[in-house]
């Protein structure tokens, strides 16, 4: 299917620009499996690149203009290579403009480009379609301009595009997962050292994504607010603990328990979630090493409960799905995935159970809410790569 998509996009590129692409890259979306809102607290996350993503095809332009065509929207944005400023019109182009701006900091970027992108990451599902666009455009444009950019630097360029061009003060999870994914495995990231490891999941397990298609109106500001509360909580711990505290990563569960009662109650809840998540990720890695999928799944349920009660980034639609998942014996675990406040639930299942569980969850959702959610089966997949050029 990915091959067919690439063929179609290549044909569209030729028709549109009258030339063949000189470079092409693919980058997958990602699913966050365990470790929620821990990345910007310098904590731990287990995630996976998924088997859907974005292709980006490009060729050099003769002058300083960039023509960027979004195949799925059939829209084209034009801008000067020397001035990739963000814009409210065709805001989808901001991700690529942000990446171009980051690449300009890595070396000379001469003329403009013509480019076309398209993919199959569902938008608004919490599967990081934006990071997948950033990473494939980054790989392709770096090659086009002959720039050498290390993967972690590319991840930081994508993050900076989110901060300065999309207004979301995200961590590095989405970009790192898209770059470092491996087939049938999870990506274990330490967001303090930026060390990334591969943790085998095994071919017998896969994930179901149940997309509520809910996007609560203030997602970006809610996200940024949670980040500020976490930073505030870290500053509080720095004043009461005998050792240095820069981020919530520096606070142990025992220290949290000792100080919770004297903290601002909201800050205490946010810290409880983040520190609990870090603990669960480390435990989860150990369970996966012992192939204990059921034990790992329990941690996913605990993670969701912590989101619901401590971080308050869940919503009724997500809770309905997780509750329904708990009632299905074949489900190993389920939780919200990504920023929260809508988006998707990720469900861990054995491959043979996936279709049956998906049907049951869809029916339970419809019955509880009167409208449908969409479900898809996803497999942990390889990370971003250059395809040609
Ligand atoms: C979004 C952000 C990530 C991360 C998750 C929550 O996906 O982009 O950086 O913070 O939310 O874990």
Q: Is 389 exposed, middle or buried (0-12, 13-18, 19+ CB in 10 A)?
A: middle
Question: How does the average pLDDT of the chain come out, rounded?
Answer: 96
Q: What is the pLDDT of residues 37-80, one digit of tens each?
A: 999 999 999 999 999 999 999 999 999 999 999 999 999 999 99
Q: What is the pLDDT of residues 125-178, one digit of tens each?
A: 889 999 999 999 999 999 999 999 999 999 999 999 999 999 889 999 999 999
Q: Catalytic residue numbers? A: 174
Mean pLDDT of 201-205: 92
pLDDT band, very low/low/confident/very high, at 213 (cuts 50, 70, 90) = confident
Cα angle for residues 70, 71, 76 (degrees, 5° grid)? 40
Mean pLDDT of 305-322: 97
Q: Contact 39/173 with Cβ under 8 angstroms?
A: yes
pLDDT band, very low/low/confident/very high, at 217 (cuts 50, 70, 90) = low
**What is the 37 CA–ligand 1 centroid distance (Å)?**
6
pLDDT band, very low/low/confident/very high, at 219 (cuts 50, 70, 90) = confident
Nearest atom in ligand 1 to the alpha carbon of residue 171 is 9
Q: What is the reported pLDDT for 389?
A: 59
Mutate to test the pocket of ligand 1, among 133, 167, 171, 337 (most ligand atoms within 8 A of CB): 171
Q: What is the reported pLDDT for 2?
A: 79
DSSP per residue, 59-79: EE-SSSEEEEEETTTTEEEEE
**What is the 113 CA–ligand 1 centroid distance (Å)?**
31
Is 90 exceeded by the pLDDT of residue 83?
Answer: yes
Is 70 exceeded by the pLDDT of residue 218?
Answer: no
Nearest atom in ligand 1 to the alpha carbon of residue 35 is 12
Q: Which two tokens stand for residue 213?
A: 């298609």
Q: What is the reported pLDDT for 125?
A: 86
Q: What is the reported pLDDT for 296?
A: 98
Question: Looking up tokens 């330490």, which residue turns up?
Answer: 190
Q: Domains plus CATH for the chain? A: 2-200+382-388 (3.30.230.10), 205-378 (3.30.70.890)
Indicate if ligand 1 lies below 6 Å from the C-beta of 272: no
Where residue 181 falls (left for φ over 0; alpha for ψ -120 to 50; beta otherwise) is beta
Q: What is the reported pLDDT for 220?
A: 81
Question: Quick count: other Cβ atoms within 10 Å of Cβ 291?
Answer: 14
**What is the 130 CA–ligand 1 centroid distance (Å)?**
12
Mean pLDDT of 354-364: 98
Q: What is the pLDDT of residues 262-289, one digit of tens each?
A: 999 999 999 999 999 999 999 999 999 9
Return the C-alpha torsion angle 269, 272, 273, 274, nearest 10.
120
Q: Contact 45/38 with Cβ under 8 angstroms?
A: yes
Q: What is the reported pLDDT for 216?
A: 65
CB-based contacts of 173, cutoff 8 Å, min separation 6: 30, 32, 39, 45, 47, 189, 191
| The model's pTM | 0.96
Cα separation, 68 vs 130, whole angstroms: 15
Dihedral sign of CA atoms 141, 144, 149, 152 in order: positive
Cα separation, 257 vs 242, whole angstroms: 15
Q: What is the reported pLDDT for 230?
A: 97
Q: What is the reported pLDDT for 215?
A: 76
Chain mean position to CA 163 = 14
**Cα–Cα distance list, 150 to 131, 282, 382 (Å):** 16, 27, 18
Q: What is the reported pLDDT for 168?
A: 87
**What is the 128 CA–ligand 1 centroid distance (Å)?**
9
Cα separation, 53 vs 241, whole angstroms: 44
- Percent above pLDDT 90 for the chain: 93
Question: Quick count: other Cβ atoms within 10 Å of Cβ 7?
Answer: 10
Q: What is the reported pLDDT for 295?
A: 98
Nearest atom in ligand 1 to the alpha carbon of residue 45 is 12
Q: Contact 40/230 with Cβ under 8 angstroms?
A: yes
Q: What is the reported pLDDT for 214?
A: 85
């Amino acid at each position: 299917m990915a091959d067919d998509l690439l063929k179609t996009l290549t044909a569209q590129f030729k028709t549109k620009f009258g030339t063949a692409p000189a470079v092409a890259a693919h980058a997958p979306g990602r699913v966050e499996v365990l470790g929620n809102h821990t990345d910007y607290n310098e904590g731990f996350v287990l995630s996976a690149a998924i088997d859907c993503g974005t292709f980006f095809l490009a060729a050099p332009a003769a002058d300083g203009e960039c023509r960027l065509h979004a195949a799925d929207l059939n829209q084209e944005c034009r801008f000067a290579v020397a001035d990739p400023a963000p814009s409210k019109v065709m805001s989808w182009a901001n991700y690529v403009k942000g990446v171009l701006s980051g690449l300009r900091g890595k070396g000379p970027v001469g003329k403009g480009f013509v480019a076309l992108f398209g993919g199959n990451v569902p938008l608004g599902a919490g599967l990081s379609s934006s990071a997948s666009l950033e990473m494939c455009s980054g790989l392709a444009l770096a090659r086009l301009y002959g720039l050498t950019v290390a993967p972690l630097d590319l991840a930081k360029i994508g993050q900076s595009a989110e901060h300065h061009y999309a207004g979301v003060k995200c961590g590095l999870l989405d970009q790192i997962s898209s770059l470092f994914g491996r087939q049938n495995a999870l990506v274990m990231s330490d967001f303090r050292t930026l060390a990334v490891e591969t943790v085998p999941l095994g071919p017998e397990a896969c994930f179901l994504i149940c997309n509520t298609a809910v996007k609560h109106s203030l997602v970006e500001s809610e996200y940024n607010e949670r980040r500020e509360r976490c930073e505030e909580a870290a500053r509080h711990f720095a004043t009461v603990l005998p050792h240095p505290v820069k981020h919530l990563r520096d606070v142990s569960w025992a220290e949290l328990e000792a100080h919770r009662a004297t903290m601002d109650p909201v800050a205490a809840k946010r810290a409880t979630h983040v520190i609990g998540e870090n603990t669960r990720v480390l435990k989860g890695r150990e369970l996966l090493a012992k192939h204990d999928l059921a034990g790992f799944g329990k941690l996913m349920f605990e993670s969701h409960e912590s989101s619901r009660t401590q971080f308050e980034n869940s919503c009724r639609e997500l809770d309905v799905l997780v509750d329904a998942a708990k009632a299905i014996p074949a489900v190993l675990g389920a939780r919200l995935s990504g920023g929260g406040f809508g988006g998707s639930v990720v469900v861990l299942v054995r491959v043979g159970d996936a279709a049956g569980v998906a049907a049951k969850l869809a029916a339970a959702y419809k019955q509880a809410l009167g409208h449908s959610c969409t479900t898809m089966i996803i497999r942990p997949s390889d990370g971003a790569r250059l395809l040609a050029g």
